Structure 1
């Protein structure tokens, strides 16, 4: 190896900045502080903050409220506040006589006059107490505070509502524009737009970046859209007029030219391809109302005609028709750019207008509103202008991460703290309100080399503009993060080019290792002591190296190296600063989730756990998509299709057999309908998150997810989405609004700070982190495996943006020149991204370089390495690059700090051996006591099926089919009550109709209510006639043998539908209930978990007749295909089979208790009429008593059950009427008391 590279700066012609000293930096004016990665930027801000609090070298001390600190994320504000608090605490301790060892604090103490130290101590004490009120904001938080506090001065409407999500307004704005401008277009012009944008969403997707970059200048300036429509329509109409009469002349002219045979066919054959083109033009002119054949016109246009060598293209005067075609082609080409320009402006106006009408503001609106409010109304400065008021309130502003600014943000601070050059000192000074003061300062702190957030609107060119305007530049030149060799290796890599960031405005100034960098020691078994290990992957000489293959090989080698390091650590052979290397000390830096998935798989194959951190949106996950289906099912619990879709999700864990059971087995269907109805009620009562967590508990979601691959990640995303829903529910009105918001968020896939993926585990795992997410963080060891894999640059992006003289240009025509400029800016950002990645490691970094290349028969192997930042730094700027050249360029960097090696073909697959320390093994305590079921609400269904239940859907318990039962019916049977569909759906339908109608007015109401119920339950309209007649027959059927009582004679005042009741139960056990039932001749055999709490139920129909009160329950069970199958014995068998006897016994007890509370001199024998179970298929006037089952449980049984339930109230005690809650309390039933 050669000697260590020199750290001297090769870019001395750029070095105009001064080394920053936190103690002596002068205040007053505008100053730029450039802080390279790891040089203590936050430490410096905290030190300057303490200086301002103490009033060092400024006119007077400032309070926490007067020092404005602005950064760009909520997490960064939290970190800054914490670091500033710790610095103030250090200063406070030092000023009370405790030595802190902090050089800056010691110096500040020493230069503070002894007489002023008590006052300084009071200022520090006050600062600590008021730091929670300090002016430390995100840029959006700052704008929001100013607009709220200075609403009058900023002309902002009072009480404007703030929202983070404006996707709904954009959705409507795009569609409004689409309707206004696209619907009126003639078919031919609409076809042009349709080919480019299939729908409004496609248009929205392309324009969304431009709405956030309103300063983008379209180039070239498109034609007016409305005028272009008219011109284009007229041009096509004129062509249709002139083509038929000039067609023969055009053909003669073309045949006279030496046409290219490939384009037009061979001349001896009469140019057959030309004939096809001319026929296409003929057909369009004669028959078509659509767009003319574009490809044909381009071939026939004067600029598109391909001639053999020596041929001359006719002039416009010689070929006026071809010239017209040429101009028509240009008009068609201009149509989409003109439409896009019109759309950008039109949608933007509508977007803003809709939010303004609702007095809503988004984060971007805050910036725009404040920037507009700061624009001066006239040339003269106003002492009371908003800018002066802000500067007076915040005399000093420290803008952190200034490289991530954008034009709006810079304009705001530039207008508040206007920079003016004094003629005497030729230095920048701030002069708000025409007075110079050291107390008025704008300090911009950032690092342009780390400007990587263009996708979020950050604009490095705005930073460059600010840098040019600011004369006073300072820099931090010592790296406190990394080891000596790590610092030297990064210097060497980026000093390999004179302009490593492709811009004179972004120089690379090498940094020095700190004095304690040598104490950062990495020890491993290998003798290689380099900090940067470059590993090279060769292409296949005959096939090249595609991205998928390269990713796999690179990931495999990185995973093998990680396994080696951890294995050595287990053996005590690998450590960092004396401590064994752990998995959590290692980070793999990637660009996206696709790269993360590849490295995770390779690590998993070697039994190495990992966790993925990124800035991706949680809405871009499988869990988010599946939760949308679950939300629909919870929002509409009676919708069986929605429920079936929810069951198919992996979150709920049902397999195909379970879903088939839902379709076939009515008991399973009933259970699930009850479960989701209960969760729906839970949502209404307590909120969406409690409902989702209850669902998770009931379906063992947590246990199932954790057993699968990536379980912690999936569970974290599920909980994250539940929290977002709960938070949004507080802002929205009702379930429908929340579901609609969630669907819009899913479509928009917004990755705002709240929606970014969270850390899924804090265990000892290898961290896989996107480079964007890693910014500002540090890791002991980093692997950077995929930065040499180029982006796909084969397709031009839309929109295509680039900068020219600090102006953002929207290349609306997607020119080749604009494409090259755009790619150059992408390369510059790739270099900055590489810099961020390379400055994360403390001890060691593995940098992988693959010769990512394509193979084509025509060109052979062409490398894409020149399209990447690492390729640029290696000096590779063309496609003609083979592996030997990469080796030569990389090996030129070799030193004590940098090593270079090739990736071998036989990559180790050895897995990491898990080592368990018995002393640290944890074991759960063994539970020895008996757990009792807590207080709960049960039901008849729960007693029968040993399950807790709430409300049973009416008709859901009517009947169940044996598994996979095939019902043998004739083909297309005639509609009848016996061929009508069976199951829970039919039962629920029949119950609903009987709930909706007045029995005494059935003939008039059934034609209205039947279609409504049929549509709701998916009953075909061909059944209407049969169902109408059937219901009339049911209502007229006699319930008694003497024919005195029918349903049709019950008035609304005599009946109550779906009466709800709760029976308090002190303790109910299955064996005790069985014993009571057997004693009175009823079936026993119940087996349910002990119930303590309430027994809940709904009685289909409660009615009064001749002073007695009856219970009726409707059953749609199919017992046979004629009335003879609905006799007493058949019905009794169905009653026993489904345990309906227990159901009506419980209903009778509920009615018995209630009447005992409400009636004086109540007597069971006198006032209880009994229970009717009405098998609807068998009820008919023509077959008396068919389908009608009647029973009245013995009084002694009801009294025995009353005692068994031990309700703690006496029959007839009118003071306890609230114990049993029924609709009868509302006097809906005309009780004859």
Structure 2
């Protein structure tokens, strides 16, 4: 270093800043490095020239990442004393530091090192909200909060927490028996979160989807696991201290990602195991630090903007007095020239500090394609730090630099030299077998898609649709794919006009049923001013044209609010209810121990369902016999769309988005009764009533079904008519004997 700056007049741009000789610290005086692949190479300043002919097809950062990988694989030995080389130790990642001009460069190199399987850590100046793991958490929280939207759930499954790739995700969606349990868990997590229990929601997903195991299998497991736990801690801390709604928490997290604060002790990246990590930092943060090996891939003055000064700026005159240029009239040629020289001087001092951070070896890259030279490139040519290219020297920059390096190599006895490569390792060595390379005996290529994680199986639980699986035509239209032919009525109705914007022409399928339910779950029937925003947000979430469909769904909420639920309650009852008195998406779980013989009694009673006077009594046949009834011990799990109390009676409501035809007339009593029979909704509401009875007997010991239960209403949403509040609704109150027979069948 003394030879490098000593041969240059004004190495720091000003004659009053001298380049004093450097003294090696006593503890570093005997350090050396030896390359087994090339014993002639020792430590010092190793320079690599990026050719000016355009033959290099890599950027300095890419080349730096490749060379660090190569250096570690070569396993050069750091020796405490030259005579004790056998007692040296191989260079490890923690011996290496990379100094870069900006935080942006640091982040870019971090991503490249991750790709080549090198553990690295950013020393200060980085927020955990700038990490890839923050994006994973934001996507996962949106997936939970916006469930059952398939689009958001798919996004969450593609994060590192769930580790699904396109192939495994496509396979999952093609098998409803696998997809349904996944969606159910997201909806369960959402319900927990909305009830204020975010920790339990995240714990449940983490357990079922093996988050920790997925992170350990990923690249850089310790770094990723550290970041995920750090972010989880910040999320739960904010949740506990502020008690925000899900929307508010997601908004706060998104704002932190948009405006991270690396100076915050809360946000600054926590360090994983430092003994195995390359240190990445900016040059300005390197003062006072030392590292055995230092890489400087980008020189600090290559993007010199000498004459592009912007106010305000500070400069000093020839006498050392300080001036501040604020207005345009302050920007004189003298001020511009002084400011430019001071900027060059600052970069030269930064260059000096960067090179002298290395104890044994400094690897610096010189770009021969730049117009403005760095201080290092000028020092090599024995020029002042602020020297401009001379017209008298006709040699190109690469030639001038090579000539200067050759002279330095001679005068420094090889301490400064141009080295293209240290050699190639004969056998690839691994740094962290559990992070970057396959485990011993594992022949699976690192970058090939991994097998999808195991899908949680729900065999210990039964939903109503799961109980009916395998029964002919038992699928609910609410959960039917859009192209399923069974959504068409037997008479093949005339399609609606393409420009019709009523619910008869709206899409069909699983996602559509989820949209209907999501809107009605969150609608405040007593507050019409809320409906427009609610509908607009949900249409956007589910990918529908808000300008076309908002008015249609606002009108749907209005019809529901004004409905009399088929005559069970006075018209407009829901609109007069406090939203807190409406229990929506009420989850229930109770143990089952099926008694197959009870099926016979249920079947007999259901065949004679008493219809009200306005409905045709279409016989219904239960899909089970004692021989085909579900058996064994398990749990029944489901969600009641809505139940509420009115005049000291309990009412149960289920929303149905079934498409029965393209005209309002297709939702008459006969068609609805057929839908109730075809999809076994009679059996479904009996299960729901049994669950509600069980709850009522717990919270109200004096509860009596005959006097305390008002009835059940199945509302077929597409056929609602504001002119007839009781239209498109099937309502009934099953006889107590039928309910008791169902309770015996479920045998809790």
Task: Give me the TM-score of the superposition, normalised by structure 1.
Answer: 0.43
Give the deviation of 1:532 after TM superposition: 0.4
Residue matched to 1:369: none
1:685 counterpart (170, 186, 196)? 196
1:610 counterpart (103, 119, 138)? 119
2:372 counterpart (864, 869, 872)? 864
In the alignment of these two chains, the number of paired residues is 659
Q: Is the 1:524–1:565 contact (alpha carbons within 8 Å) kept by the matching residues of 2?
A: yes
Deviations 1:636-668 (A, max 9, x none): 779999878877877776777969999999997
CA distance in 1, matches of 2:210, 2:478: 28
2:525 counterpart (967, 982, 996)? 996
Matched, 1:771 2:278: no
Residue matched to 1:584: 94
Q: Cα 1:801–1:879, aligned 2, differ >3 Å: closer, same or farther? A: same
For residues 1046-1125 of structure 1, the aligned pairs below 5 Å read: 1047-1048=570-571, 1057-1058=582-583, 1065=590, 1067-1068=591-592, 1072=594, 1080-1081=602-603, 1083=623, 1097-1098=639-640, 1100-1102=642-644, 1111-1121=652-662, 1123=665
Q: Is the 1:717–1:758 contact (alpha carbons within 8 Å) kept by the matching residues of 2?
A: yes
Q: Is the 1:629–1:646 contact (alpha carbons within 8 Å) kept by the matching residues of 2?
A: yes
CA distance in 2, matches of 1:827, 1:742: 40
**Could you list the runs of 5+ residues in structure 1 that have no partner in the other structure?**
1-489, 855-862, 924-932, 947-956, 998-1004, 1039-1044, 1207-1233
Q: Is the 1:940–1:1097 contact (alpha carbons within 8 Å) kept by the matching residues of 2?
A: no
Return the index of the structure with the highest Cα Rg.
1
CA distance in 1, matches of 2:535, 2:229: 39
Deviations 1:408-431 (A, max 9, x none): xxxxxxxxxxxxxxxxxxxxxxxx
Which has more helix, going by share of residues?
Answer: 1
For residues 210-249 of structure 1, the aligned pairs below 5 Å read: none
1:1192 counterpart (734, 737, 740)? 734
Deviations 1:768-827 (A, max 9, x none): 444345444433333333337712538825446232135252364366554443332333
Q: Is the 1:1112–1:1172 contact (alpha carbons within 8 Å) kept by the matching residues of 2?
A: yes
CA distance in 1, matches of 2:467, 2:304: 63
CA distance in 2, matches of 1:801, 1:985: 59
Deviations 1:1000-1024 (A, max 9, x none): xxxxx9x889768766655746649
Q: Is the 2:521–2:584 contact (alpha carbons within 8 Å) kept by the matching residues of 1?
A: no
1:803 counterpart (305, 315, 318)? 315
CA distance in 2, matches of 1:557, 1:806: 46
Residue matched to 1:853: 369
Residue matched to 1:1175: 716
Residue matched to 2:403: 888
Q: Cα 1:1185–1:597, aligned 2, differ >3 Å: closer, same or farther? A: closer
Q: Cα 1:747–1:849, aligned 2, differ >3 Å: closer, same or farther? A: closer
Give the deviation of 1:628 after TM superposition: 5.0
Residue matched to 1:840: 357
Q: Cα 1:559–1:643, aligned 2, differ >3 Å: closer, same or farther? A: closer
CA distance in 2, matches of 1:1114, 1:666: 23
Residue matched to 1:45: none
CA distance in 1, matches of 2:365, 2:523: 75
1:875 counterpart (375, 378, 382)? 382
Q: Cα 1:1167–1:791, aligned 2, differ >3 Å: closer, same or farther? A: closer
Give the deviation of 1:746 after TM superposition: 3.7
CA distance in 2, matches of 1:1029, 1:766: 62
For residues 157-176 of structure 1, the aligned pairs below 5 Å read: none
Residue matched to 2:44: 532
* SS in structure 2 of the partner of residue 1192 of structure 1: coil
CA distance in 1, matches of 2:133, 2:215: 11
Q: Cα 1:611–1:1030, aligned 2, differ >3 Å: closer, same or farther? A: closer
CA distance in 1, matches of 2:149, 2:16: 62
CA distance in 2, matches of 1:748, 1:1012: 27
Q: Is the 1:522–1:574 contact (alpha carbons within 8 Å) kept by the matching residues of 2?
A: no
CA distance in 1, matches of 2:111, 2:501: 59
Residue matched to 2:480: 961
Q: Cα 1:1139–1:1087, aligned 2, differ >3 Å: closer, same or farther? A: farther
Q: Cα 1:1133–1:501, aligned 2, differ >3 Å: closer, same or farther? A: same
Residue matched to 1:899: 415
Residue matched to 1:1035: 564
Q: Cα 1:554–1:1008, aligned 2, differ >3 Å: closer, same or farther? A: closer
Q: Cα 1:719–1:1141, aligned 2, differ >3 Å: closer, same or farther? A: same
For residues 532-681 of structure 1, the aligned pairs below 5 Å read: 532-537=44-49, 539-540=51-52, 543=53, 549=59, 552=62, 556=66, 559-565=69-75, 578-592=88-102, 595=105, 609-614=118-123, 615-624=125-134, 627=137, 672=183, 675=186, 678-679=189-190, 681=192
Q: Cα 1:728–1:815, aligned 2, differ >3 Å: closer, same or farther? A: farther
Q: Cα 1:737–1:838, aligned 2, differ >3 Å: closer, same or farther? A: same
Give the deviation of 1:1095 after TM superposition: 6.1
2:496 counterpart (964, 970, 992)? 970
For residues 464-543 of structure 1, the aligned pairs below 5 Å read: 490-497=1-8, 499-502=10-13, 507-513=18-24, 517=28, 519-525=30-36, 526-528=38-40, 530-537=42-49, 539-540=51-52, 543=53
* SS in structure 2 of the partner of residue 853 of structure 1: coil
Q: Is the 2:144–2:189 contact (alpha carbons within 8 Å) kept by the matching residues of 1?
A: no
Residue matched to 1:1150: 692
Give the deviation of 1:1125 after TM superposition: 6.4
CA distance in 2, matches of 1:940, 1:825: 74
CA distance in 1, matches of 2:203, 2:349: 43
Q: Cα 1:715–1:868, aligned 2, differ >3 Å: closer, same or farther? A: farther
Give the deviation of 1:594 after TM superposition: 6.0
CA distance in 2, matches of 1:608, 1:977: 54
Deviations 1:1170-1214 (A, max 9, x none): 5443435567899999752646276486477479775xxxxxxxx
Larger CA deviation: 523-532 vs 957-966:
957-966
Q: Cα 1:1190–1:727, aligned 2, differ >3 Å: closer, same or farther? A: closer
Q: Is the 2:136–2:156 contact (alpha carbons within 8 Å) kept by the matching residues of 1?
A: yes
For residues 155-194 of structure 1, the aligned pairs below 5 Å read: none
Q: Is the 2:559–2:725 contact (alpha carbons within 8 Å) kept by the matching residues of 1?
A: no
CA distance in 1, matches of 2:233, 2:111: 29
Give the deviation of 1:752 after TM superposition: 1.2
Q: Is the 1:634–1:680 contact (alpha carbons within 8 Å) kept by the matching residues of 2?
A: no
Q: Is the 1:563–1:608 contact (alpha carbons within 8 Å) kept by the matching residues of 2?
A: no
RMSD: 5.9
Give the deviation of 1:524 after TM superposition: 3.4
Q: Cα 1:849–1:960, aligned 2, differ >3 Å: closer, same or farther? A: closer
**Could you list the runs of 5+ residues in structure 2 that have no partner in the other structure?**
391-395, 442-455, 470-475, 489-493, 539-545, 604-621
Structure with the larger RCO, 1 or 2 (CA within 8 Å, 6+ apart) = 2
Residue matched to 1:750: 261
Residue matched to 2:293: 781
Q: Is the 2:73–2:429 contact (alpha carbons within 8 Å) kept by the matching residues of 1?
A: no
Q: Cα 1:835–1:723, aligned 2, differ >3 Å: closer, same or farther? A: farther
Q: Cα 1:580–1:1025, aligned 2, differ >3 Å: closer, same or farther? A: closer
CA distance in 2, matches of 1:604, 1:743: 24
